[in-house]
Amino acid sequence: MARNILDKVIVLWICLVNFTVSVPPDSSIYYGQFPEDFIWGIGTSSYRIEGAWNKDDSCLQKLDPNLNDETGYDPFVVSLLKHYRFSISWSRVLSNGTLATRNEKGIQYYKNLISELLKNGIKPLVTLYHWDLPQALQDVGGWESDKMIDYFSDYARLMFDELGEKVKFWITFNEPWISAYHGYGTGTSAPGIKDKGHKPYTTGHVIIKAHVKAYRLYKREYSHQNGVVGIVLNSGWKEPKTQSQSDKDAAERAIQFMLGWFANPIFGNGDYPEVMKQQIADKSRKMGIPNRLPEFTEQEKHDNIGSSDFFGINTFTTNLVTYKENSESTTPSFDDDQDIRMFRDPSWKRAKSGWLSVVPWGMRKILNFIKDNYRNPLTYVTANGVSDCGQLDDQFRIEYFKTYINEVLKAIKIDQCNVKGYMAWSLMDSFEWEKGYVPKFGLAKVDFEKNERTRTLKASAHFYADLVKQNGFTKSSFNMYTYIKEDLEERDMFYKGLFPPNFAWGAATSAYQIEGGWNEDGKGPSIWDDYSHEWKITKNQTGDIACDSYHRYKEDVQMLKKLGVSHYRFSIAWSRIMADGTLNSLNKKGIDYYNNLINELLAYNIQPMVTLYHWDLPSALQKTDGWKDPEIVDKFAKYAEVCFVNFGDRVKFWITINEPFVVSWLGHGIGIMAPGVKEPAIGVYNVTHNIIKSHVKVYHLYNEKFRSRQHGKVGITLDCDWKEPLTYDAMDRYSAERSLKFKLGWFADPIFGQGDYPAVMKRFVARKSEQQGYSNSRLPEFTDEEKKQNKGAADFLGLNHYTTNLVGYKNRDNENSSYEADQDTVLSFDPCWNKSESDWLRVNPWGIRKLLKWIKNRYRSPVIYVTENGVSDDGQMDDVSRQRYYTKYINEILKSIKLDNVDVRGYMAWSLMDNFEWGSGFTQKFGLYHVDFDIDSRPRTPKASTVTYSKIIKDNGFH
């Protein structure tokens, strides 16, 4: 009788609590300290980090058939905290889930982990079940079967026996709502069963009883270990959409169906929430089916009450809730049982995970709900964090932690919530269930591309460590940018302003990529004709016709006119005007073609910017070793002189060679571009040596014979990605600088610097060469006279820039000799940078500003033209990604001019139209204009980006 009266009192007390927690949203920072006994920690779970899924007799977990994850990494803990929450893999210690398959190696693994933690002063918080049920138990019914109660009890007993002397903080289940609803309802989590109307309730019932039995077991037989046992529940805050009573009631139902479903039996009156019982009973009765919510016996209710020493809450986000009657449904469903609709305010910031919006005040409200509904239990926030795409400078996560943790402090200090600990989620990037490795929650970055799974602390880790050290918030602490080590506000800002008067705006192409007419009118074959005819291109495509600009150049000029450009950068096909590359095969029709193109441009006041060499060496010259042959220097000079004589009266911008790095490394090092030569150790350096000498000779040729009467400029176009250090570690910073010098400096230092290769390049190649048994350095040397000729042999530096790399240090002494290995670096991308259709191109606008500033500082502020910049897609006409790319990259160039005083005088967009993209054929589209390659006439159609680029040109910047 007394028991029934107590139950009624508890129910009445819960019903009297006003659901709309009287905590107004407050975005201000509360300054103060957490209690002295407050515990700080960080969390992970076994399946997400351990790996070794089938090693040391660990059998299949129920996750494996669904997700097929076979790779992970052994856990590590940074000693910045004093508590580490992790879970035990049931199937690692009991292969099939039963005592008959006890696995000593698995048990020893956890003993070793716990000992290592304690040795470092870190206390373990151990979760027994974090969703990874042994597959053998799933095969006999899983959490639908009451047998699981005893299986789980046996497993818990084993862990208490083996680990209980050192573990004083146990969690039975992590987020049983996920196991029940998503595992057996929606089927989006393992074991992938879809029955939203029945099985969530039956499995939830079994899980509660399994928890209670394990808790009572510990209290009965293991109290001498002086530990605590609890359960971790999950719920975001549920905010009524409006202050109408129907919406308030709907929000209460939402939180009772999520949190109360498990909390009410354990922390309340031993039974399910009254609103949940009533809703499900009413819905079932209307459908003419038995009540789908199982019932606890009186004894079970008695055992349920108080069966947890603490309330663990995992909370990440908030939902808005409104009333929606689901009376027409004929199929029972957990969702319809609630008569609600949940959604998010579109103004809330979104995380990488679609379900997670950033609403800090929801944290305080959910803690107050727990206090008000469950008599202010001892509470631990056992998981809280935010996902992004994985950058090291994770200011988004810092802001999240700062605001959410501050709401915890408010709940403690202002509202007297009995919160005694906080576990950040998570220690490191890990396997995020059905989303794989895409969303990143970690305070440490993990490189999943490397076998060693390298960990690197993010900025948020330093922020969190300092917050823990200070045990709260002081007015002088926690400027977010202190941890980023960057003026990110300026880096990411959009700058309003204009480019200098007479800034050169243009678009760019190259001969082989657009002309076609590969064997017409006396043109000789080039190495790219040969290379593509050997079927080395995607889909066996060739540039035989390409955009057919050999016949349609007037259409191209009209496209340029409509864009509003002042310049057009194109290249001359050496073998079109000299079929075999020598004066013996001078081709008048080829010369006429370029004269016609130049004249057509000038008729519309468009200035030609002409590249002499864009990778298409005459085949006849390749037969005598091409760029490896020292005689190429004189041959190239004779070709250049023909161009100066025939076109120089009208052409005032000459580029000798486009991207010599591609010719050297991709063409003669790894052989993935024409001519397909693979000589990565020596040939690559010899080719570069000849290219530099060829450029220098042509520059001086123009000076001596043509400059005084033609008044043109001669430069070279170099390509370079910005090289951002992977971390702030000194070795990574040195590696990034070295990478720039090996890429850009390889060509720029001789011409724009002191006439010689970069000192670090000479030193590294010489050391590696000696170690590898070479008598001399594999890097050739310039004579003193050549250095003198090299220095200053350009009127401008043409820069082709598309993307950024992250650069880390890697000792590569034991690798085969190659230009790449000589650098002792490893390149990667920030996963947050947007991808393009080209796997080498990630979008990172601020990289171009950093590179331009680096060039200015290293080479005494040379005149720079950005001669290529653009992005690939798969051909959309509404090319939003290209519009954004041009807008942001061009704005960064404007910032470099206005804020950094870089002498940039022009910008050539790549590319005027879709064209033949070398090894990728026609599969990657860079064009401002779409070209239909399936129609003989190759019709051109402007994409949306033409409007964007034209407006920038017309405005000469950004108003």
Query: What does the pLDDT look like over 815-855, one tens digit per residue?
Result: 899 999 999 999 999 988 999 999 999 999 999 999 999 99
Q: Residue type for 329, please?
A: S
Quote the pLDDT of residue 22.
Answer: 60
Quote the pLDDT of residue 728.
Answer: 80
Q: Residue type for 860, please?
A: R
- 499 pLDDT higher than 70: yes
Quote the pLDDT of residue 14.
Answer: 31
Quote the pLDDT of residue 482.
Answer: 64
- Please tell me the distance from the alpha carbon of residue 587 to that of residue 433, in angstroms, as a whole number: 64
Coil, helix or strand at residue 173: strand
Using alpha carbons only, give the angle 314, 320, 326 rounded to the nearest 5 degrees: 105
> Using N-to-C axis directions, what is the helix angle for 880-898 and 944-955, rounded to 10°?
20
Quote the pLDDT of residue 488.
Answer: 61
pLDDT digits (tens, 9 = 90+) for 188-244: 999 999 999 999 999 999 999 999 999 999 999 999 999 999 999 999 999 999 999
DSSP for 221-286, please give it: H-GGG--EEEEEEE--EEEESSSSHHHHHHHHHHHIIIIIHHHHHHHSSSS--HHHHHHHHHHHHH
End-to-end, the C-alpha distance of the chain in Å comes to: 79
Coil, helix or strand at residue 9: helix
Tokens 């090693």 correspond to 55
Task: Evaluate whether 640 touches 704 at the Cβ level (below 8 Å).
Answer: no
Rg (CA), the chain: 34
Task: Evaluate whether 53 touches 70 at the Cβ level (below 8 Å).
Answer: yes
- Cβ density class 322-334: b for 16+ within 10 Å, e for less: bbeeeeeeeebbb
Say which range, 297-306, 481-490, 860-869, has the weakest mean pLDDT.
481-490
Which ranges in 624-758 belong to alpha helices (H)?
632-647, 660-661, 667-668, 683-705, 707-710, 730-740, 746-752
Coil, helix or strand at residue 818: coil
Tokens 């001019």 correspond to 897
Quote the pLDDT of residue 2.
Answer: 33
Task: Evaluate whether 505 touches 645 at the Cβ level (below 8 Å).
Answer: no
911 upstream amide cis, omega within 30 of 0: yes
Query: Dihedral angle at the C-alpha atoms of 365, 370, 376, 379, nearest 10 degrees?
Result: -90
Which ranges in 741-808 belong to alpha helices (H)?
746-752, 759-771, 784-790
Write the CA distances from 488 to 124, 386, 393, 835, 886, integer angstroms. 37, 20, 9, 22, 21
- 25 pLDDT higher than 80: no
Structure tokens at 599: 């004249």
Question: If residue 85 lies in a helix (H) or strand (E), which one and from where to where?
Answer: strand 83-87
pLDDT digits (tens, 9 = 90+) for 788-821: 999 999 999 999 999 999 999 999 988 899 999 9
Quote the pLDDT of residue 326.
Answer: 81
- 676 pLDDT higher than 70: yes
Structure tokens at 247: 């919406």
Quote the pLDDT of residue 77.
Answer: 37
Say which range, 186-190, 224-228, 677-681, 726-730, has the weakest mean pLDDT.
726-730
Quote the pLDDT of residue 481.
Answer: 53
- Please tell me the distance from the alpha carbon of residue 709 to that of residue 178, in angstroms, as a whole number: 79
- Model confidence band, residue 491 (pLDDT cutoffs 50, 70, 90): confident
Coil, helix or strand at residue 561: helix
Using alpha carbons only, give the angle 28, 316, 430 rounded to the nearest 5 degrees: 125
- Model confidence band, residue 19 (pLDDT cutoffs 50, 70, 90): very low
Pick from 156, 61, 158, 149: nearest CA to 104: 158
Coil, helix or strand at residue 445: strand
Burial of 495: CB neighbours in 10 Å, binned 0-12, 13-18, 19+: middle
What mean pLDDT comes out for the span 23-42? 90
* 457 φ, ψ (degrees, to nearest 5): -65, 135
- Please tell me the distance from the alpha carbon of residue 515 to that of residue 71, in angstroms, as a whole number: 48
- Model confidence band, residue 478 (pLDDT cutoffs 50, 70, 90): low
- 62 pLDDT higher than 80: no
- Model confidence band, residue 727 (pLDDT cutoffs 50, 70, 90): confident
Structure tokens at 285: 């009765």
Pick from 315, 492, 509: nearest CA to 417: 315
- Please tell me the distance from the alpha carbon of residue 40 to that of residue 43, in angstroms, as a whole number: 10
357 upstream amide cis, omega within 30 of 0: no
72 or 328, which is more confident: 328
Quote the pLDDT of residue 489.
Answer: 58
Quote the pLDDT of residue 7.
Answer: 35
Structure tokens at 94: 């009991």
Question: If residue 704 lies in a helix (H) or strand (E), which one and from where to where?
Answer: helix 683-705
Write the CA distances from 26 to 30, 110, 434, 661, 941, integer angstroms. 10, 43, 34, 56, 53
* C-alpha of 711 from chain center: 48
Pick from 509, 639, 537, 601: nearest CA to 908: 509
Q: Residue type for 436, please?
A: G
Give the helix, strand, coil percentages of the chain, each rounded to 5. 45, 15, 40
Mean of pLDDT over the chain: 93
What mean pLDDT comes out for the span 469-492? 71
Quote the pLDDT of residue 486.
Answer: 52
Annotation marks residue 868 as catalytic: yes
Q: Which of 515, 555, 600, 868 is catalytic?
A: 868
Tokens 């239909």 correspond to 932
- 582 pLDDT higher than 50: yes
- Please tell me the distance from the alpha carbon of residue 318 to that of residue 778, in angstroms, as a whole number: 61
What mean pLDDT comes out for the span 447-465? 87
Quote the pLDDT of residue 63.
Answer: 34
Task: Evaluate whether 485 touches 889 at the Cβ level (below 8 Å).
Answer: no
- Model confidence band, residue 475 (pLDDT cutoffs 50, 70, 90): confident
Q: Residues near 499 by Cβ (< 8 Å), separated by ≥ 6?
A: 894, 897, 956, 957
Which domains can be identified in the chain, with CATH numbers? Answer: 2-486 (3.20.20.80), 492-958 (3.20.20.80)
Pick from 251, 222, 218, 246: nearest CA to 236: 251
Structure tokens at 503: 């800034």
What mean pLDDT comes out for the span 38-58? 81
